Amino acid sequence: MILIVSTCKDPLSEYEFVKPLERIVQKCCEEYTVVSYREIKEGVWDKIIITGTALKDFDYIKYIKNFLWLQESYIPVLGICAGSQIITKIFGGKLEDYLIIGRKKVEIMKENPLVSMEKIYSYFITSKVPRLNKRFEIIGKLNGIPVFFSVKYTRIYGVVFHPEVFNENLIINFVKRL
């Protein structure tokens, strides 16, 4: 079963950030469930997708301890925007204020199971970007900023952009290949 973790404080935001992911996941698998970031706990999941949320919604950061068990987990995880921020913080990285909004070209730097192209156009709506440490591998950059990364020796990925907008195949590949 796939767990989709909503990082949305306001339930109305789920129409923009959670429902599109549900639609994509339904194309490739039958079983999934959605849980709030406030209620997540360790469980038996095949894969986890941690969603994005509204530009100024940072309530999920108060609940970062709910995700600490991921440090010891072998479950594939895809963190999208806010989800990538959670992954960054859990594995010792920092977040830096930096506004990116709109369609941008991401340069893919490293072979990975989620995208095969050298460049992808991606949709951004973020005000924080990761400052990664040695525990991370950079997969893609935008103007020198890491916007697609993984935690070394795991199947944990973070994307600062929203693949549910322009890169549905990234999500499908995550669900089918990992």
pLDDT digits 0-9 by tens, 70-126: 999 999 999 999 999 999 999 999 999 999 999 999 999 999 999 998 999 999 999
Give Cα separations from 60 to 16, 116, 152 (angstroms). 17, 31, 24
Question: What is the tally of structural domains in the chain?
Answer: 1
CA angle, 93 then 150 then 108, to 5°: 115
pLDDT digits 0-9 by tens, 22-45: 999 998 887 999 999 999 987 889
**In percent, how much of the chain has pLDDT > 90?**
91
Residue type for position 84: S
- pTM, two decimals, is 0.96
Mapped to the 3 state alphabet, what secondary structure does 33-94 carry? EEEECCCCCCCCCCEEEECCCCCCCCHHHHHHHHHHHHHHCCCCEEEECHHHHHHHHHCCCE
Residue 49 confidence class, pLDDT cut points 50, 70, 90: very high
Closest CA to 149 of 129, 178, 167, 127: 129
Q: What is the CATH number of the domain that holds 129?
A: 3.40.50.880
Q: How far apart are CA 75 and CA 45, in angstroms?
A: 7
Q: How far apart are CA 172 and CA 175, in angstroms?
A: 5
Q: How far apart are CA 151 and CA 88, in angstroms?
A: 9
Over range 129-149, report the average pLDDT. Answer: 97
pLDDT of 178:
87
pLDDT of 163:
97
Over range 151-160, report the average pLDDT. Answer: 98
Over range 2-16, report the average pLDDT. Answer: 96
What is the domain range of residue 154? 2-177
